[in-house]
Structure 1
């Protein structure tokens, strides 16, 4: 099953590493409008909420993500 970044009405949802074990709480969510902006934050240690149809979204650590840019 392929998971994709969660896009909400506010944008792509990320977890801020500054909040440690509480980064998954809604009040600590950071939203960006583009995948490029999300990728820049992931490179700085932010986690990304990802999910797939029929599956609840989960917070994925930056170490488990692979960023692929078009060349």
Structure 2
């Protein structure tokens, strides 16, 4: 795939509520699969500054913290995410 990442979506959001990747002062937060069942712990978070970097890590098995208005952030597995690139959006 080529093209710049314009958004990352959850495939089947609960309650049909749209979730966005969580942005923190350090950047987008991801869970490192090397930490297994502890990847959700803050000390095991990995931060990136762009959606392109996040998409690259998702492709390597990293989970992404996502949030919706009025809800706590939750860690979403890579198999439950869809990366949308600008070249795909033009075709659709």
User: TM-score, normalized by length of structure 2?
Assistant: 0.76
* Paired position in structure 2 for 1:52: 68
RMSD, aligned α-carbons? 0.4
Find the partner of 1:42 among 55, 58, 62: 58
Aligned pairs (5 A) from 1:6-45: 6-45=22-61
| Structure (1 or 2) with the larger CA radius of gyration | 2
Where do 4+ consecutive residues of structure 1 move more than 3 Å? none
* Alignment gaps of 5+ in structure 2: 1-16, 88-92
> Residue by residue, what CA displacement relative to the aligned partner does 1:10-69 show, whole Å, maximum 9, x if unpaired?
000000000000000000000000000000000000000001110000000000001111
TM-score (norm 1): 0.99
